[in-house]
Amino acid sequence: MNGDGDDNRPGMRGGHQMVIDVQTETVYLFGGWDGTQDLADFWAYSVQENQWACISRDTEKEREEQQVSKSDFYHYDIDANTWTLLSEDTSADGGPKLVFDHQVN
């Protein structure tokens, strides 16, 4: 586990990504740094229920198990609980080069 989190909530971190789905009132939190390691966990927080749910403890491991090549651009399907590779190299596809410490809006 990471930081001071437990099985029911994410631990302390910085450099993570968060977005909100205003229609479902769900906040999604991905990864970050806990002061010791890079994190690849993925969480959902229900504003209505005031409760965290872990979607994935280790997205890196799950992608490796699905034999998907490492890349920098994926799509996560909330309903199907699956990751889909959108681009192996966004720069070659006309997008940005690899990005570090980026933000999600």
Tokens 């909330």 -> residue: 78
Instruction: Determine if residue 24 is left, alpha or beta; phi over 0 gives left, psi from -120 to 50 gives alpha, anything else beta.
Output: alpha
Query: What was the pLDDT predicted at 2?
Result: 45
Query: What was the pLDDT predicted at 10?
Result: 95
CB neighbour class for 84 (10 Å; exposed up to 12, middle 13-18, buried from 19): exposed
> Distance (Å, rounded) from C-alpha 77 to C-alpha 8?
22
For the chain (105 residues), the mean pLDDT of every run of 10, in chain order, is 67 92 94 92 96 90 60 80 84 75 60
Query: What was the pLDDT predicted at 103?
Result: 60
Query: What was the pLDDT predicted at 104?
Result: 61
> Distance (Å, rounded) from C-alpha 46 to C-alpha 103?
21
